[in-house]
Structures are given as C-alpha cells and as structure tokens.
Amino acid sequence: MKDATGTLPLIKYIRVTGDIDAAFVEFDFAIHDPTLYVELVLPQQAFREFCATNQVVEMSEQQQAVNDAEEDKWRYGVEHDTLVGAQRYNIDHEDQH
C-alpha cells in the first residue's frame, strides 16, 4: 500500500536483545534492511511509544539468524558457511590437528 507521496512505505524492524520486562529495553532497530541496524535502549514506556509510532515489525527468526551470523563473523572472524570461509578456516587450523 502506497503512502500519501505515492511511494511504498519502508518497513521498520525491531529485535529485542535484552529482557523485555526490564526497566530499560535493549533492542535493534532497522529501516527497510534488517541487516543494517542500530542498537538502542529506551525506558519501557518510551519503547512502547517508539514501536507504536514507527509501526514496527519484529524481525523473523531467519532475519535474526543472518544478523547473528554476521555478528559472529565480525566478532570472531569466522565464515564457516561459505566455501572460501571453510577453506580459510581449515588452512589456518591445519597445524592444530
């Protein structure tokens, strides 16, 4: 459904990364591309208002898994899911067998 400007609205995604019942809610927020997100922290009431105002959609399990894999790649430097990554990992660890 197009908005008043005649363009399709951008989907806004959230992913709660902390305790949803905590005084402050930690979450990821993305616009259009769930792999490009910012980490935010808001008090409970502000979080609820933020979600309502932005009409957010919760990231799917598949979208969350992609983000987790990317985070692991940057954190640990490991890409097991690609042929190049698997070869690089095996070459780097041959002497440890």
CA distance linking residue 20 with residue 29, whole number of Å: 15
Residue 89 to residue 86: CA distance in whole angstroms: 5
Percentage of the chain exceeding pLDDT 70: 76
Position 62 in a domain:
yes
Report yes or no on 6 lying in a domain.
Answer: no
Position 5 scores a pLDDT of: 73
Query: Is 1 within the bounds of a domain?
Result: no
pLDDT in tens, 36-82: 999 999 999 999 999 999 999 999 999 999 999 998 888 887 665 55
Query: Residue 17: inside a domain, yes or no?
Result: yes
Range of the domain at 19: 12-96
